Structure 1
Amino acid sequence: MNKIISEQLVDYLEKRDTKYVFGLCGHTVIEMLDALEKSEQLKYISVRHEQIASTAADGYARATGKASVVLCHLGPGLTNATTGVANASLDSIPMVVIAGDVPSYYYGKHPHQEINMHADGSQYEIYKPFVKRAFRVDTPELFPEILDRAFRLAESGRPGPVLISVPMDMFSRKIDTRFFERIYKGSVNIIKPSLEENTAKEIAKTLIEAKRPIIHVGGGIVLANASKELEDLVNFLNIPVSRTLMGQGALSDKHPLMLGMTGFWGTNFINEKTSNADVILGLGTRFAEADSSSWYKGVTFNEDKTKFIQIDIDPAEIGRNYPVEIGAIADLKVALIAILKAAKELKPEGIKRPELIEEIKLYKRSFKKSNESIENDNRFPMTPQRILKDVREVLPEDAVICTDVGWNKNGVGQQFDITEPGTIIHPGGLATMGFGSAAILGVKLAKPDKKVITLIGDGGFGTNPSVLATAKEYNIPVVWVVMNNYAFGTIAGLEGAHYKHNFGTVFKIDGHPYNPEWADVAKAYGIKGKKVSSAEEFKEAFEEALNSDEPYLIDVPMENIPVPTEGIWNINDIYTPKENVKDGVLISGKAERSDHVSTN
């Protein structure tokens, strides 16, 4: 029996239990919109900018662990979606982008809106640097196979986005249903790689014999749903844990063996623990620049002192930035189970480190005490520390926070306790402004019973305020907390520290701070909005917004205080060169830091 491809595509998505398609219309995809309109299971979320579609889809995929779906038009539709897709790619988030294209019989004729400067029918190739695969459908009968491969690729190995470029005539073609029926016969579940028994024993033995072991975790732990397995191993061997920004929530920030975030936004205590470790087990982390203090030897990590063991689902990450004694390709959940099993066989009684636990406890107590004064300060505009404290006191532990760029990401990673995995979502790799305001839409659709908020700067929110229209249209009850310092604050701080001015980074008219009145903008979209006028007012306003069960925006005037840091990032040494740093290499001693400078 022959059936139109668009209708069979909808059938396929329904069989995969897909609930939402995020997108923006265009003439190349109206055949798909017609098929979606007839579906009783699939809901189409129409947005006002394609970056919102891809970012909301990113949030949905993070909340569900399944590939989300984006539908977009060619040309400007494809390019507008780029940033959200690239952000998902760098954070290993599964996504399938279905993009309309010019009719297949018009290749080379430069039809309307085609990007066609150097090759015919090739605009989909602009996605190649950041998607796992970019497909173009040239034969209608191959569409089902390409579609199924796209979802399998997106969700397997290191997850990530996959693009399918579909000439608009292909959506309308009829093909025999047997081509789709053939792909339904296979299982959608793919067995993940495990850790070989001897390797697990070798890793366990190395950890047991180490004098100063550290487990360093990244976002891979959260993606692999391996938090319980991590905690079981940590508790049995009493090994302290450091984390990356993306690793926040992998183990509770309140766990007695959780040190905290390393690198630029880490503290001297944490960085000294990791730089003096004799063994570091890296789990689901790339040992990225900011987390590793630009790889300066002896600042956060030191390969002369430390044996590195690295386990990751992606073979390309093993040994990328530090030489490894043991490198393993494995699913982290399975790997941690195997290592714990081996550890229990080698040392049934486990290991206790009461002195270390007490040392970490005293450090955390001291760190929190150092913030007490500023986070309880009543001055207005508010301090970012006060905003975070009030949010934490009101927000349920199982609520989901999407951050953005600046204090709301770096400060949260440094000093905002997250106790449950999956309740904090950072834009890590690409660090995209505007991520938080759109990602919460997808997260809330995936978790309707959870409170979902974003902490976002005024610069970040200003990139795509039309998220408000989508939230209103589909009644998505989320809360935007706009931390408003009338600037691209972290860059203003960086520029001010090195060049003594803030040109191009602050918002002013005739020398006076300027921003749209974001609460009034929200009201214009039909959404509740409030601008707080005192520090004492914020907490009550936030609680009201959280319990309103409708979209709500709070505009919070905030001082532009950079995130305090004892860490080091090469970016400071590039702008203000140091004698002991040459071409990104720390020649002797420790690099000097620029006091209280942070970047996004």
Structure 2
Amino acid sequence: MEKLISHQLVNYLEERGIEHIFGLCGHTNIAVLTALEESKIKFINVRHEQIAAHAADGYARVTKKAAVVLSHLGPGLTNAATGVANAALDSIPMVVIAGDVPTHYYGKHPHQEVNLHADASQYEIYRPFVKRAWRVDRPDLFPEILEKAFLLAESGNPGPVLVSVPMDIFSKKIDVSLFDRLHRQTKSLQKPSIDDETAKSIVQKLINAKNPVLYVGGGILLADAANELKELVDHLNIPVAHSLMGKGALPDDHDLTLGMTGFWGTKFINEKCRTADYILALGTRFAEADSSSWEPEYTFDFSQTKLLHIDIDPSEIGRNYPAEIGAVADLKQALKVLNRVAKQLIPEGVKNEALIKEIASYREEFKASNEEYIHDNSFPMQPQRILNEVREVLPKDAYITTDVGWNKNGVGQQFPIYEAGSILTPGGFATMGFGAPAALGAKVAQPDKVVVSLVGDGGFGQNPAVLATAAEENIPVVWIIMNNFAFGTIAGLQKAHFGTTLGTIFEKDGEVYSPDFASIAKAYGVEGIKIQSAEEFKPALQRAVASNKPVVIDVAMLNNPVPTSGHWNIMDIYSPDKKVHHVSV
């Protein structure tokens, strides 16, 4: 029996458990949209493909399964590219299904074909950042390619894949047996672990160490290994520092959580890592900002410290620092073995009350350093007060998305996260425009959770059309626009090092300028609130959360830099003879 590929594709996705597809229409994919009309899969319609990719990214981070993006060819696919690349650099599983030119027109330059260097070559655009890009040249190969795409996206180091499908193939019929035979194929692969001998070596080194530290990255969250991490920490009483992407892997109120390292880390946290004799690194690539540009006098000094490194991706082990032991494994599986071995080697566990008291004292000191800003009634508001009041209002299990700037760096440094995986932030690509649409995806994935997006005015301005989707689909996200009338972080850098702010602050006729985001929200059919004083913010947020509707809160914020004693080599590139970071603008 033969059926249209477009209908068999939708049936395949249903059987795979796909519940939502994010995308935008085009003449190359309407056969699939038509097949979706009678499907239980919900199509989340957007106004720009970058929104679709970022929303799918947020959805995948929450569900821990590959999200699906449906795109048109050419400009549709390139519009989505930034969002797909962001997912790739943060190891987020995603399957992008894109329409393409008809097979019988390859090279004739039909409408929107990419063919300057090779015929029908749009799929090559994605090659630098997806795990694999397929062009489907024969209809009978489509089922097999689709199965491979999902398996590859979700296995090993996860990431996006592209399946580029000529529009005529969507409308061809093939024998349903080609899809039916896929039922015999496993839908997930067994994940690698470590052997007992390796685990014993690692645990023994940690037990014997004088100042061990666990350093965790986003790989812990991708592997859903937060519980296993906590079990190891509680048994061995080893402090935990984390990268930006590892925030929340261990709750911020845990006695042994140090905090984020690197440029936006504090001197206390960086010193704990720099002076460690052993570091067990779990699921981290030691990124530049997290590692103070890899300069040994600031955060990590592996000429003195011994590194034990476990990651699912072998290319990350030894990339930036030499490892005494390197193990390729899924972190959930590896931590299960480490926990079992640790309890065999030292059944009573380890106690370190002095360290716990030291960390508690540091936290009190750090909190005190922010008190004057948290209680400052000035308007525009202090960013520290905004973050503090957001934390007070939200339940512990609320999902937070950030963009870039104060909302990302400040949250990483001083906003407590209590539930693993409840903060979604753009790490590897640091994409401005991620936070607002990622919140849509998170809320679609977890409709019963509170979802708040902390974004700057620059970031929200990238993709304001998220509001159309929120209104149409009634997706009750709260967007808090921390509005400093600028690309504030870059403005602070430029002013500090070059004495100008050209191109970084928003001005009209010599005065600071911002669109009225509250009015823009209302024009989209979404509630918009423009804060006029510091005292108004917290009650407005409480009402917005309670309303269970999409709401935009536009709050003016002072453009002060995120306080940091950390180091990033770009400062030396700008000003080799100075010791300056950012300044207020």
TM-score category (smaller protein): over 0.9
Does structure 2 retain, via aligned residues, the 8 Å contact 1:563–1:597? no
**Partner in structure 2 of residue 563 of structure 1:** 562
CA distance in 1, matches of 2:243, 2:579: 20
- Kindly state the Cα deviation for residue 596 of structure 1 after the two structures are TM-superposed: 4.4
**Partner in structure 1 of residue 45 of structure 2:** 46
CA distance in 2, matches of 1:114, 1:294: 42
The answer to whether the aligner puts 1:397 opposite 2:419 as a matched pair is no
Written as runs of structure 1 = structure 2, the 5 A alignment for 1:217-366 is 217-366=216-365
**Partner in structure 2 of residue 31 of structure 1:** 31
Does structure 1 retain, via aligned residues, the 8 Å contact 2:495–2:583? no
Does structure 2 retain, via aligned residues, the 8 Å contact 1:237–1:351? yes
Written as runs of structure 1 = structure 2, the 5 A alignment for 1:475-554 is 475-554=474-553
Counterpart amino acid of residue 594 in structure 1: V
- Kindly state the Cα deviation for residue 595 of structure 1 after the two structures are TM-superposed: 4.2
Does structure 1 retain, via aligned residues, the 8 Å contact 2:19–2:42? yes
CA distance in 2, matches of 1:256, 1:357: 6
Counterpart amino acid of residue 216 in structure 1: Y
Deviations 1:220-257 (A, max 9, x none): 11111111111111111110100001101100111111
**Partner in structure 2 of residue 21 of structure 1:** 21
Counterpart amino acid of residue 26 in structure 2: G
CA distance in 2, matches of 1:431, 1:594: 23
The answer to whether the aligner puts 1:444 opposite 2:430 as a matched pair is no
CA distance in 1, matches of 2:374, 2:128: 43
CA distance in 2, matches of 1:597, 1:329: 43
Counterpart amino acid of residue 332 in structure 1: L
CA distance in 1, matches of 2:170, 2:20: 19
- Kindly state the Cα deviation for residue 174 of structure 1 after the two structures are TM-superposed: 0.4
CA distance in 1, matches of 2:162, 2:350: 48
Q: List runs of 5+ in structure 2 lacking aligned partners.
A: none
The answer to whether the aligner puts 1:5 opposite 2:5 as a matched pair is yes
Deviations 1:181-212 (A, max 9, x none): 11111221210001111101110111111111
CA distance in 1, matches of 2:535, 2:115: 57
Q: List runs of 5+ in structure 1 lacking aligned partners.
A: 579-591
Aligned residues: 585
CA distance in 2, matches of 1:303, 1:180: 52
Deviations 1:505-533 (A, max 9, x none): 00111101111100000000111001010
Counterpart amino acid of residue 68 in structure 1: A
Does structure 2 retain, via aligned residues, the 8 Å contact 1:29–1:100? yes
CA distance in 2, matches of 1:499, 1:291: 25
Supply the RMSD in Å over aligned alpha carbons: 1.1
Shift of the 311–597 alpha-carbon distance from structure 1 to 2, 3 Å rule, reads: farther
Deviations 1:148-201 (A, max 9, x none): 000000000011000000000000010000100111112212100011111011
Counterpart amino acid of residue 294 in structure 2: W
CA distance in 2, matches of 1:309, 1:558: 42
CA distance in 1, matches of 2:511, 2:451: 34
- Kindly state the Cα deviation for residue 298 of structure 1 after the two structures are TM-superposed: 2.5
Deviations 1:80-109 (A, max 9, x none): 000000000011100000000000111111
Does structure 2 retain, via aligned residues, the 8 Å contact 1:73–1:100? yes
Does structure 2 retain, via aligned residues, the 8 Å contact 1:565–1:598? no
**Partner in structure 2 of residue 66 of structure 1:** 65
- Kindly state the Cα deviation for residue 14 of structure 1 after the two structures are TM-superposed: 0.2
Written as runs of structure 1 = structure 2, the 5 A alignment for 1:31-180 is 31-39=31-39, 41-180=40-179
Written as runs of structure 1 = structure 2, the 5 A alignment for 1:456-467 is 456-467=455-466
CA distance in 1, matches of 2:376, 2:124: 52
Counterpart amino acid of residue 215 in structure 2: H
CA distance in 1, matches of 2:420, 2:338: 21
Does structure 1 retain, via aligned residues, the 8 Å contact 2:493–2:581? no
Shift of the 598–184 alpha-carbon distance from structure 1 to 2, 3 Å rule, reads: farther
CA distance in 1, matches of 2:47, 2:510: 33
CA distance in 2, matches of 1:508, 1:180: 57
CA distance in 1, matches of 2:583, 2:149: 42
Deviations 1:341-377 (A, max 9, x none): 1122222222111111111110011000110011110
CA distance in 1, matches of 2:299, 2:337: 28
CA distance in 2, matches of 1:475, 1:345: 52
CA distance in 2, matches of 1:598, 1:245: 23
CA distance in 2, matches of 1:101, 1:190: 30
CA distance in 1, matches of 2:298, 2:239: 18
CA distance in 2, matches of 1:597, 1:65: 39
**Partner in structure 2 of residue 209 of structure 1:** 208
Does structure 2 retain, via aligned residues, the 8 Å contact 1:229–1:337? yes
CA distance in 2, matches of 1:152, 1:35: 24
Counterpart amino acid of residue 287 in structure 2: A
User: TM-score under structure 2 normalisation?
Assistant: 0.99
Deviations 1:544-597 (A, max 9, x none): 11111111000000000110110000110100114xxxxxxxxxxxxx742446
**Partner in structure 2 of residue 369 of structure 1:** 368
SS at match of 1:327: strand
Counterpart amino acid of residue 37 in structure 1: E
The answer to whether the aligner puts 1:594 opposite 2:580 as a matched pair is yes
CA distance in 2, matches of 1:249, 1:598: 29
